Structure 1
Amino acid sequence: MRRTKTKREKETGLIERKKVIGVDPMTGKKIYHSFYGRGRRAEEQIDEKYKAFMLNQELIAESNETLAAVCEHWMENCKRPVVSDLTYTQTYEYSLKIITRYFEDQPIAKVKQADIQKFFVANRGRNKWAIDKLYYILKNTFDYAIQNDLIVKTPFIDIRKYGKPPKQKQAYDEEAYFKCIAFAKMHPDGLGPFIILKSGLRRGELCALRWSDIDLPNKIINVRRAVTFKDGSMIITQGKTRNAVRQIPIDTETADFLAATERKSPCVVGHGQSDHTDPKNYARRDYHRFITDFSNETGYPVLSLHELRHTYGTMLYRFHTPLEAIAKVMGHSSLELTRKIYVHDTVDDLKSRIIFPTI
């Protein structure tokens, strides 16, 4: 009985033949692929394409290109050009180390769905953000491998993610915010927390801030650099995002306090003659002393330096600063990021903004 032509065959004049190209290792089912030919030589053309396809599959199976190497190629070609150096180092290179450590020299053509699932099970202790990033990187790596004829079919199918739920970010309320500022002005280690509560600097930006970056007459903090780590070494970068280099207006209280502060180092929170300080040492030494004393005296919870930054963004929002302005001050490129991460709505905030329908 003559086979009915498919819609595509009718529209294009092509002849389609489905041929077995392999067996799914998970289900044992045959894998079919469509091949096309045209005119009187259609069957011959289909056979030639099928043979070429199967030969390419054999070459792929013999390929020793590792998953880690392909992953690195994808990062270099697709992510490095579009993200900042800091993001690339702290996110993509860090994730690549995790992937390389697990898969080692395993060829990408031999990675199965079960291998990928075991990888996520093995890394289930990591936080949700890290798991989401690993998921994104691996999925795109296999897609990249298909596009470059390194594999025929992606094994990245029905992969379940595991991970600890992210820690809920905290922020001080209005009363605690102003008490913390007042406490910082009196505490010997309060300069750094005071600046963050008044400007929203990141920890690395604070540790790279120099007195020469502060324009007191015009009441502006010029954020020009940040301290971070790469391969265990402390380095100076231009910041975490493209908008990290920015100018932050400060109020009169902040300008007056900074003008009256003794300058012991070129770095605002530094010691000695260095123009920057180690963010990790600063957090566990100077800041730890400050926030512990503040918590013991007031009973408010201990927040991290980054949560003080959250608090600043929250206060701007509660005092009706437009989101666009908050995003610029915080050094973000995305309003959505500002809205999702740095805006903490309380029930009272929502009540004050909801207009209930009435008759």
Structure 2
Amino acid sequence: MATIKLYTKKDGTKAYMFNVYLGKHPITGKPMRTTKRGFKSEKQARLALSKIELDIADGKYTEIEKEKPKKTFEQIYWSWYEEYKTTVKESTLLKTERTFRNHILPAFGDKYIDEIKPLEVQEQMNKWHTKLVRSREVMNYTGSVFDYAMRFELINSNPTKLIRKPVHKKQVEEDKDLNFYDKDELKEFLRVAESMANERAFIFFRLLAFTGIRKGEALALRWSDVNFSGKVLTINKAVSRREKGLYIQTPKTASSIRRISMDDKTLDYLKKFKIDTESVDDDLIFRTDTGGILSQSKSRKWLIVIQDEIDKQREKPMKRITTHGFRHTHASLLFESGASLKEVQFRLGHSEIQTTMDIYTHISKSAKEKLAEKFNEFVDF
């Protein structure tokens, strides 16, 4: 008769296990035994043992075991994938597919899922940590497949729960702290941008700097989203990417859906741009020559061209910021004008106030550094 034993797992916690004789193999005639472990209580272990002993007595257990093929990690992944794809947007699904294809399946795909041990997972975690900034996220996705296998009783425990996930040390990057223009820098940038032949690029950066919207939100705007008489801009969608290409989707969070006020001058520029491009309300404001969705990389090219032109007109090169930096620029000007954190949070569409506070911290740090420079220039001794 099988005995239920208490044992200590590698993580130091206690659990119950048993080893039971199943009878002779129907083909080889060799004795068959199975070990079941990971039960949280003796009662759980006893119930599982009773079920197996009942199946043995009824002659069922041998057939069950014989007809139950082993599954690889990749086989379980595809079952998990069918369930997962119904819970996320296409853009998120595409990123997840790439993560599994590029990292997880090459590491675990061909291995039987019930034979993957914690030590093997830990070694893989350590490898990813040295190569990937998002190593913890990759391992979390790996764990979700093991969780799925546990739900269907294919394995007794999730090995990713027993490992340590190294943490990347945060480094303060100067570029991140300075990724915005002050009032004078923005004025110079827009002056040069307006003087160049690309009206679409000038309007794009003007809109980002004076509304703080994300570039994906800007590229999804239609003229019907601009209420010229009410001076309001409606944000309710964004450009994203899936396997088939670019498409427009609803934002990921409810807080991204918002209506924000606009200044008169930006509205005047938009009115002129609408006339110049012979647009109708249904058209995208920023579109390809054929009326399609512009790639988000297009703004990077516009930005480099304008920044290069500015440098030609200056003795000292101008600070370089990213397209996303215009969102920080808008936040900076809002804080400078006296706006509260909650007001900035709503205008930028942040779901968490902490995100707004992080931007404020970076902007404040840079402002303090510049204040010290101004003081030194004034005192001059």
Q: Give the TM-score taking structure 1 as reference length.
A: 0.70
Identify which of 146, 150, 153 aligns with 2:154.
150
Q: Cα gap change, 1:125/1:267 in structure 2, threshold over 3 Å: closer, same or farther?
A: farther
**Are 1:113 and 2:129 matched, yes or no?**
no
Identify which of 330, 333, 337 aligns with 1:315.
333
Identify which of 210, 218, 231 aligns with 1:206.
218
Identify which of 90, 97, 100 aligns with 2:101.
97
SS of the residue corresponding to residue 192 of structure 1 reads: helix
| Partner Cα distance (1:34, 1:321) in 2 | 54
| Partner Cα distance (1:66, 1:317) in 2 | 54
**Are 1:258 and 2:270 matched, yes or no?**
yes
Matches within 5 A, 1:227-266: 227-231=239-243, 233-261=245-273, 263-264=276-277, 266=283
| Partner Cα distance (2:46, 2:229) in 1 | 83
Matches within 5 A, 1:18-167: 19=17, 36=42, 48=50, 64-71=70-77, 77=83, 81=87, 84-86=89-91, 88-89=92-93, 91-98=95-102, 99-124=104-129, 128=133, 130-156=134-160, 157-161=162-166
For 2:276, the aligned partner's letter is R
Q: Cα gap change, 1:173/1:284 in structure 2, threshold over 3 Å: closer, same or farther?
A: closer
Q: Cα gap change, 1:217/1:116 in structure 2, threshold over 3 Å: closer, same or farther?
A: same
**Are 1:217 and 2:229 matched, yes or no?**
yes
* Residues 253-286 of structure 1 deviation map (CA, whole Å, 9 limit, x = unaligned): 2112222335326433334240532222x13433
SS of the residue corresponding to residue 227 of structure 1 reads: strand
When Rg is computed on C-alpha atoms for both structures, the one with the higher figure is 2
Q: Cα gap change, 1:308/1:244 in structure 2, threshold over 3 Å: closer, same or farther?
A: same
| Partner Cα distance (1:193, 1:250) in 2 | 14
Say whether the 8 Å CA contact 1:210–1:275 is kept in structure 2: no
Alpha-carbon offset, residue 197 of structure 1: 0.9
| Partner Cα distance (1:127, 1:318) in 2 | 37
Q: How many residues align?
A: 320
| Partner Cα distance (2:113, 2:367) in 1 | 51
**Are 1:185 and 2:198 matched, yes or no?**
no
SS of the residue corresponding to residue 204 of structure 1 reads: helix
Q: Cα gap change, 1:70/1:45 in structure 2, threshold over 3 Å: closer, same or farther?
A: closer
SS of the residue corresponding to residue 324 of structure 2 reads: helix
**Are 1:285 and 2:301 matched, yes or no?**
yes
Q: Cα gap change, 1:118/1:59 in structure 2, threshold over 3 Å: closer, same or farther?
A: farther
For 1:290, the aligned partner's letter is I
Q: Cα gap change, 1:63/1:85 in structure 2, threshold over 3 Å: closer, same or farther?
A: same
Say whether the 8 Å CA contact 1:75–1:92 is kept in structure 2: no
Alpha-carbon offset, residue 138 of structure 1: 2.7
* Residues 27-47 of structure 1 deviation map (CA, whole Å, 9 limit, x = unaligned): xxxx78576369xxxx98796
Say whether the 8 Å CA contact 2:203–2:269 is kept in structure 1: no
For 2:266, the aligned partner's letter is T
Alpha-carbon offset, residue 162 of structure 1: 6.9
| Partner Cα distance (2:345, 2:19) in 1 | 52
More off after superposition, 160-169 vs 130-139? 160-169
Q: Cα gap change, 1:140/1:104 in structure 2, threshold over 3 Å: closer, same or farther?
A: closer
Q: Cα gap change, 1:69/1:315 in structure 2, threshold over 3 Å: closer, same or farther?
A: farther
For 1:226, the aligned partner's letter is A
* Residues 227-258 of structure 1 deviation map (CA, whole Å, 9 limit, x = unaligned): 22111512222234333333221112211222
CA RMSD of aligned residues (A): 4.2
Alpha-carbon offset, residue 152 of structure 1: 1.4
| Partner Cα distance (2:39, 2:232) in 1 | 64
For 1:173, the aligned partner's letter is D
Say whether the 8 Å CA contact 1:19–1:32 is kept in structure 2: yes
| Partner Cα distance (1:232, 1:46) in 2 | 48
For 1:251, the aligned partner's letter is D
* Residues 119-159 of structure 1 deviation map (CA, whole Å, 9 limit, x = unaligned): 3344446553x323213323344344334422212222233
- Give ranges in structure 2 of 5+ residues lacking alignment: 1-14, 21-36, 56-60, 370-381
Say whether the 8 Å CA contact 2:192–2:310 is kept in structure 1: yes
- Give ranges in structure 1 of 5+ residues lacking alignment: 1-16, 23-30, 352-359
Q: Who is 1:173 aligned against?
A: 182
Alpha-carbon offset, residue 76 of structure 1: 6.0
| Partner Cα distance (1:147, 1:256) in 2 | 59
Identify which of 361, 364, 374 aligns with 1:346.
364
